Amino acid sequence: MPAGLDPPPGPADQAVEEERSDGSPVRVGLRGIVLPALVAVALGALLIAVYLAAFPTAEAHDLPVGVVGSDSRVAELEAALDRDRPGMLRLEELPDVAAAEREVASGALYGALVLDGPAPQLFVAGAHGQSVTQDLTEALGPSAGAQPTVTDVAPLAEGDTRGRAIDHTAFGVVLGGFLFGITSYQVAPKLRLRWRLVSAGLFAAAAGLVGAWLSVEVTDAVPAGFWTAVGLVALLALASGAATALALRLLGAIGTFVATAALLTVGAATSTGSFPAEYLPGWLAPLADVLPPGVAVQALRGAAYLSGSSVPRGVVVLALWSVVPFLVVAALDAVSRRRAA
């Protein structure tokens, strides 16, 4: 086998397992039989609990929507929404049609209803997904007194008619970062941090180029600038790898399960790829703006469809996830060396 890689486990040898467990058959049973089952059940239960809480009955709450119209018509709309859709929408009054279109196109609002004129007009951004457009149309149509004319100011790309390409791209990159962090410590647990950083940089650059090439150039599923997508995907890869590496450095083998729960379970559920954060339960919604998957999906969506409004914040948050874990690892290594000396 190449240096640094463990060979296949080979045939079963109970004596070896008992030796690893200080000769205790009880410890062998707990470590080899009970622990794998408990960990697998715990992670599966967490995934089931999070996804059942987040998606089967997902409903918007305080979804920011603009409205243009006279005070009396806006008051009538608010009263109708409070009666028929309590807590679903949060109305923000806008001065004119141009402002309504601009706010939706930038991603500041999920929709905007114009009440002035012969018939209501509803601006939406298809980039947020079909569920959001459908919910806004169903909620604001009856409340406005007449079915509005719907104008999509940020329609989905032809290569992504279901609106899932960004989420799928992000998940693939997060999974790659997770595997990078694990493999990095498995094959070279004592590697100097500077060389681990070189490896992380190489991985992030390659992941960024390949991910952007597939999603932007090959499939036309993410209509963002190529190099913008490269940068965001690379940052997501680096952030995921750094977070996983820190978990393993802090917790050892247990860190694998912690990283799985944080990135691949809770992180995927709060990525906003299926629904915006306003559709998530209150205890999950804040994580969409904190964990790397949600931050990256929002930044990529902004770059592809919504005037880049969420890109700067995404870069800052992902950069923190990329840098801080390695700083903590450096501090832990320094303390360990000082103690050993």
How many angstroms separate the CA atoms of 28 and 23, rounded? 8
Torsion over CA: 65, 67, 71, 72 (sign) = negative
Question: What is the number of structural domains in the chain?
Answer: 2
Residue 1 — very low, low, confident or very high, per pLDDT cuts 50/70/90?
Answer: very low
Share of residues in the chain with pLDDT > 70 (%):
93
How many angstroms separate the CA atoms of 161 and 219, rounded? 12
Q: What is the mean predicted confidence (pLDDT) over 216-229?
A: 96
How many angstroms separate the CA atoms of 138 and 8, rounded? 58
Range of the domain at 110: 63-152
Give the pLDDT score at 274.
Answer: 86
Q: What is the mean predicted confidence (pLDDT) over 152-161?
A: 93
Question: Is 146 in contact with 120 (CB distance < 8 Å)?
Answer: yes
Judged against a pLDDT cut of 80, whether residue 21 lies above it is answered with no
The answer on 336 and 292 residing in a single domain is yes
The answer on 170 and 124 residing in a single domain is no
Give the pLDDT score at 306.
Answer: 93
The answer on 252 and 105 residing in a single domain is no
> Strand 89-93 to strand 149-152: parallel, antiparallel, or no bridges (unpaired)?
unpaired
Judged against a pLDDT cut of 90, whether residue 53 lies above it is answered with no
Give the pLDDT score at 28.
Answer: 66
Higher pLDDT, 20 or 301: 301
Residue 190 lies in a domain: yes
The answer on 76 and 215 residing in a single domain is no
Give the pLDDT score at 166.
Answer: 96
pTM, two decimals, is 0.90
Mean pLDDT of the chain: 90
Which has the minimum average pLDDT: 147-151, 210-214, 230-234, 290-294? 147-151
Q: What is the mean predicted confidence (pLDDT) over 281-310?
A: 94
How many angstroms separate the CA atoms of 134 and 132, rounded? 5
Q: What is the mean predicted confidence (pLDDT) over 61-88?
A: 92
The answer on 245 and 125 residing in a single domain is no
Residue 141 — very low, low, confident or very high, per pLDDT cuts 50/70/90?
Answer: confident
Give the pLDDT score at 16.
Answer: 63
